[in-house]
């Protein structure tokens, strides 16, 4: 149970009946995210990092089937045993899997059959959630919570992947119609002095958390400053206009090689036409808002911009200590606005924030035995930590200790830049 730890009256789920309601709500959210799509959109996989929307819908269902139904119901009969091969993502100890780069070839099962698969598994899951034995309830609830947070991760991936899939179409079709006003005001940078010392980070609380957030341990912080807001599009334009992408002294060696090889000269989704910058959003192609936080930035670009600014990126421990002081409030997917907004003093939501910290195991960390041990631990290599959540993250999915991680060249995720400096 180490992945999910304990459930109590103070946890996200509350009572056992509330877990059933939570299960239905989160499962319904996934289908709601896909409701604006046309049938042909469900099949697209624009790059190897993305997945077709229908694959996401099937994979999260496979997760409940594999780690709950077949585990707790020995007589459970899968709807289609071949789905175990098609929709396994990376769990090598479970069995072989269809290649990630080939997911868009799966015209069958159809979208309709995928929804039938979801309904079939949901029917059996709701029966499982009718369990009366309190000892089994605890074990079931622990894995259900893992499955629900796993599905919320894929809900965020759906927004990310749908955006990249639509952007890859020369027609630049919109996922949604924008109905809200776009903010154009932004405050000056403010800096908060933060004291150093021996502090605790990591999670050992009585609510859900992933195993990579534990154990709680001590770490030394030097005195530092954190900027009160994220870097804006206008500020990043200054970096571009100062030939930031042409100056090797600003870049890590791997970053410089990567931007040369891939001919990067601006953030992902930026496009310049007749001297004017535009940005592709989930609402289609729009004029670049200079006040909005710069989004879809790789770690390489974030680090180069910080170096150009005479600053640095914060460490994950610096951000976690700040997040622990604040209520979990910000611009999350619950707002229904799926593009980062301006926000003074906003540390949660809007954009995931790159840190200067590699994604490594905490002291005394031990991956779980068995297949669930593949969830986080085996990815602790060559990736970097991001903190805080984004405009496509569900609010009840995030916490101060949450460790997101991506490769340094990745930028299709909703990631931005917060600056820091040493005192």
- Over residues 39-69, the pLDDT tens digits come to 999 999 999 999 999 999 999 999 999 999 9
CA distances from 241 to 15, 255, 269, 303 (A): 56, 19, 18, 17
pLDDT value of position 6: 31
pLDDT band at 204 (very low <50, low <70, confident <90, very high): confident
Q: What value does the mean pLDDT take over residues 389-412? A: 97
pTM, two decimal places: 0.95
The pLDDT, as a whole number, for residue 301 is: 99
| Closest among 12, 4, 128 to 72, alpha carbons compared | 128
The pLDDT, as a whole number, for residue 109 is: 98
**What count of residues does the chain have?**
423
How much is the average pLDDT of 124-144? 90
Computed over every residue of the chain, the mean pLDDT equals 92
Would you state the pLDDT for residue 15?
A: 63
pLDDT, tens digit, for every residue of 149-169? 999 999 999 999 999 999 999
Mean pLDDT on 8-18 = 51
* Beta strand 348-349 pairing with 284-287: unpaired
Q: In whole angstroms, what is the distance from residue 120 CA to residue 68 CA?
A: 14
Predicted confidence at residue 375, as pLDDT, reads: 82
Rounded Cα distance between 130 and 280, Å, is 45
Cis peptide bond N-terminal to 270, omega within 30? no
Which of 12-26, 52-66, 336-350, 409-423 has the weakest average pLDDT?
Answer: 12-26
Classify 409 as helix, strand or coil: coil
pLDDT, tens digit (0-9, with 9 covering 90-100), for 268-288: 999 999 999 999 999 999 999
The share of the chain scoring above pLDDT 90, in percent, equals: 83
Residue 256, pLDDT > 70, answer yes
> Which tokens in the block code for residue 187?
């405050």
Predicted local confidence at residue 1, as pLDDT: 30
């Amino acid at each position: 149970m180490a992945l999910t730890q304990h459930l109590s009256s103070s946890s996200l789920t509350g009572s056992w009946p509330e877990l059933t309601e939570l299960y239905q709500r989160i499962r319904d959210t996934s289908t709601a995210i896909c409701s604006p799509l046309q049938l042909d959109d469900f099949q697209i996989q624009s790059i190897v990092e993305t997945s077709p929307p229908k694959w996401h819908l099937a994979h999260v269902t496979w997760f409940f089937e594999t780690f709950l139904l077949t585990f707790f119901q020995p007589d459970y009969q899968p709807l289609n045993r071949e789905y175990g091969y098609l929709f396994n993502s990376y769990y090598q100890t479970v069995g072989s899997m269809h290649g990630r780069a080939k997911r868009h070839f799966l015209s069958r099962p159809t979208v309709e059959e995928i929804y039938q698969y979801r309904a079939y598994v949901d029917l059996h899951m709701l029966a499982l959630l009718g369990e009366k034995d309190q000892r089994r309830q605890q074990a079931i609830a622990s894995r259900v919570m893992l499955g629900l947070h796993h599905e919320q991760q894929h809900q965020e991936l759906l927004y990310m992947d749908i955006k990249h899939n639509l952007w890859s179409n020369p027609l630049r079709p919109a996922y949604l119609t924008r109905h809200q006003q776009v903010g154009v005001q932004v405050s000056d940078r403010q800096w908060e002095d933060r004291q150093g010392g021996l502090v605790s980070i990591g999670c050992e609380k009585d609510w859900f958390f992933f195993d990579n957030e534990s154990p709680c341990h001590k770490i030394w912080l030097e005195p530092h400053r954190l900027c009160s807001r994220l870097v804006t599009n206008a500020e990043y334009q200054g970096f571009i206009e100062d030939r930031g992408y042409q100056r090797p002294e600003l870049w890590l060696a791997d970053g410089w090689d990567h931007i040369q090889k891939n001919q990067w000269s601006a953030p992902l989704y930026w496009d310049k036409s007749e001297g004017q910058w535009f940005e592709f959003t989930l609402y289609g192609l729009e004029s670049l808002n200079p006040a909005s936080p710069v989004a879809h930035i790789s770690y390489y670009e974030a680090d180069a911009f910080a170096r150009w600014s005479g600053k640095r990126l914060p460490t994950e421990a610096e951000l976690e200590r700040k997040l622990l002081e604040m209520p979990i409030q910000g611009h999350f997917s619950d707002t229904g606005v799926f593009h980062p907004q301006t926000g003074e003093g906003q540390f949660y939501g809007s954009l995931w924030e790159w840190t200067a910290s590699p994604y490594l195991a905490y002291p005394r960390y031990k991956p779980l035995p068995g297949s669930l041990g593949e969830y986080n631990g085996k990815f602790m290599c060559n990736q970097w930590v991001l903190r805080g959540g984004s405009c496509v993250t569900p609010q009840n999915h995030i916490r101060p200790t949450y460790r997101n991680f991506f490769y340094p060249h990745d930028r299709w995720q909703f990631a931005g830049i917060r600056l820091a400096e040493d005192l």
